[in-house]
Structure 1
Amino acid sequence: MTVTDSAALRRDLADRLAVAGALRTGSWRTAVEAVPRHEFLRGGFFRRFGSAWRPVLADREGWLDLCYTDDSLVTQIAGTIVPGDIRGEIRREPTSSSTLPSLVVRMLEDLQVADGNRALEIGTGTGYSTGLLCHRLGDDRVTSVEVDDGVSGRASVGLSACGYFPNLVVGDGLAGHKDGAPYDRVIATCGVRELPHTWIEQTKPGGIILAPLCGWMHSSELAQLTVGHDGVAHGRLLGGQVQFMLARPQTPPPLGMLPDFESGEERPARIGADVLDDWDARFVAQLAASRAQRLSLTLDGGTQHVIVDVEAGAWAGLARDGEQWTVRQGGPVPLWDAVEDHLLRWQADGSPALDRFEVMVTPEGQRITWPSA
């Protein structure tokens, strides 16, 4: 590997991101051409083969080229396992990655940074996006918070190899970092179910917050909000069907022992479970049942489509018989009733696209609405 090889790959990556529409301004193009993504992947990454993950280490042929593909590259599995730990394959869930560059750059463009801004990043990850921020703003104006000390340590090595020394903090990113506040810009590189008001408190009036709003049914969208003088943030969803790992404190609880799906009360469903195959409809459903998880089970009677709120002890199971769907619900809250009501109101308003949804965050919580017909 040579510096020349890496520089050519960075220029080619910048060209591809510009053609795709993710890279839109000269300042961020300069950053992409300057910051070597491979320095943040020296420890290798995992690639999926079927249902398993295999490590790709830095001494493998083709490693450098793969570092400059527009792909998310998984760097940690099951909370602790890195590529150097594995010989062969592993079948566990990813817990940290280097996000695909087109999404990283799109988010940085949407953050609308200006010279002299001070930025707070939630989720350091590999440190690549942190490096881009450092190049654009200066590392003395960048603070990045990471919950995993091992991940933060590896990011620090990559950043220092590139000559960047931002303020790296190990802690719960949902709490922000008040010692460095107030910030002009806040960006989250992990998904959140609900945007914490602490981020708003730590942002200057007029400042911008950009974060992926996610749910446990796995539909997520970028939200861009502006902080007001009254401590309330207003904004909108940007659209685009982004996918991020959830902030670890907001990951769903284990399902545990599933309920008896033969219990509960059964009725004809007004809307079938197949509506949840649509990204926008699933996002709307999450607004109605924000703590519900979705799964499909193969039982003797066929396929059951289930949503379960573990903490509330509520569930709904849907099955199809020809063209008719039935729903059976149990627990203190009729989950599917709430989902149906929300979806039917959205449909009555013309099923507006998610980029027309508005977001407001107050000290009392988060509210997401869509335009009425």
Structure 2
Amino acid sequence: VNSEESIHVKYNGKELTSRLRCFWKVKVWTTAGQSEWSATNTFSMGLLYYKDWPKGWIGFDRAFPWDNTKTDSRLSARYYRKEFQSAKQVKYATASIIGLGLYELFINGKKVGNDALTPTATDYTKNVKYNTYDVTDYIKNGKNAVGTILGNGRFFAMRQNEKPYKIKTFGFPKMLMNINIVYTDGTTANIDTDDSWKGTADGPIRTNNEYDGEEYDATKEFAGWNNIGFDDSKWQKAEFVQEPSGVIEAQMNENIKVMNTLKPISIKKLAGGRYVLDMGQNMVGWLQLNVKGKKGQQIRLRFAESLQDNGELFTANLRNAKCTDLYTLKGADQETWEPTFTYRGFRYVELSGYTYQPAAADFTGKMIYDNIKTVGTFETSDALTNQIFKNAWWGIAGNYKGIPIDCP
């Protein structure tokens, strides 16, 4: 390119088509000479046309007997799976997925990527975002299994019947996905969402939303559900459902990730066999716990940003949000759990349901925000100014969730 412009130079080469893998490197010529070639970089094209996607969205457009959609928007997560054959040597493979409101994707028992709370929330009547992953290393020669979990997010909105004039909701969770496999002999295969998938809503995640938290019943886990050989005969056939009206768009912003971890600084006993955990810092994310106990025993975690003078949680600012996680033990020697489809702002956690005194070391705070780098620092000789800057960073980072949000 013979130009003085270093950015916004229009591409004028070969037409770039859907799923095309592109490789590029840069060399610069100036009046001072020329540079060495840069390292080779790569990107892939998305699905450019509606026809590139599978023909059908899948889901269950209804509540189940254990759900309560009339008052608290209690809706369990939906689990889907499919097995498929890959009989040749794989050159590369990509998975493009829209899982609304939130999703986790697994291939052969392994979670794809390390993102959290994907995809970015939108007004789903205007646009819906998809993510694409390189899954080449996940595909095996022979039989494979793909599994997804769908959470509610802001698609199946919390408190939707309380203030319908204010709170917009879009329907029950649903999914559209394509796995495109390119073999070394030049042939391709596609694994698409259709009614050959199997699904269930009767899994361990009993309810999930941003206001009230997540309830997880480990006694309802189905080991190996996202791997080959699982008996899904009691699962239901996935159903074709109405697609959202928004335009399908590639998500160009970074996904949310666990960007930091914090250990509690103290744990104190309260009346009634309860404990209060202090993370030492107001943070946005969730709490991972290590626990042991009998099958069916329940551990309740209530979250707050501050305490009352008597040491109890201050929750008046939460209005009617429960901001509570509930974990039901399966009775293993040691159990580790953290939620999948919820988060909150908190510093303090009230713990109840323990038959022994938990230790601070049993817990880890997971701080989440968009995968963006902190590229600058600021420090003065004044401690108060430095603390204000620190508080601003924590507040800004904690409120980047694909879109800038105003709380927690």
TM-score (norm 2): 0.27
Structure showing greater Rg: 2
TM-score (norm 1): 0.29
Q: Which structure has more helix as a fraction of its residues? A: 1
Q: Which structure has more strand as a fraction of its residues? A: 2
